[in-house]
Amino acid sequence: MVRILAFAGSSRRDSFNRKLVDIAASGAGKAGAEVTLVNLGEFPMPIINQDLEESEGMPEKAREFKELMVSHDGFLIASPEYNSFFSPLLKNALDWASRKEAADEPPLVAYRGKKAAILAASPGGFGGMRGLIYLRMLLSGLGVFVLPEQVSVPGAFNAFNSQGDLLDQKLHSAVMGLGEKLVEFCEMQIAGKE
């Protein structure tokens, strides 16, 4: 069974991107995946610092997050846009997960051969699209295949109902569909290895 790790680059209580990744995760679950939905706020990590890493090793919460990434086939990531970029919270978590913990550990073990789908919601008119450009670049550089399809939700203040669903049914279906496509792509890779 395909395992998908889903998370948002925001830990804000009413985060639009956490609502968005919830919808995509339900699409992945509908497609038959085992989905692990996490809140990065539950994995507090210091700003990555090589001196700290050398003196104390990888922080426990960073290790836990990295282990989750290693144990899943694909990632669903929803990111807010901060000044045309993705969030520092997301960057820091992804950076920690890239670190080697042992000399015999393969490089970028949390990323190599993994698949990802990315999406964004933002109050602005671009819907977080500018930040997704850089997120795609980062993930690709780490060895992740990022699906060409992505979804952005502009005007996020008015895009969701009180249950966290998107008011625009076409957009809601597109977000669920992105989760489904990620599962299908992971299944093809697994089938190819058998």
Tens digit of pLDDT for each residue in 35-51? 999 999 999 999 999 99
CA atoms within 13 A on the CB side of 71: 9
- Strand partners of residue 120: 152
Report pLDDT digits (tens) over 52-91.
999 999 999 999 999 999 999 999 999 999 999 999 999 9
Give yes or no for a contact between 52 and 157, defined as CB atoms under 8 angstroms apart: no
Q: How far is CA 136 from CA 11, 82, 83, in A?
A: 21, 15, 16
- This prediction has a pTM of 0.96
pLDDT value of residue 189: 80
Can you list the residues of the chain whose pLDDT is less than 50? none
**Domains in the chain, start-ordered, CATH in brackets?**
3-193 (3.40.50.360)
pLDDT the model gives residue 193: 67
Predicted confidence at residue 141, as pLDDT, reads 97
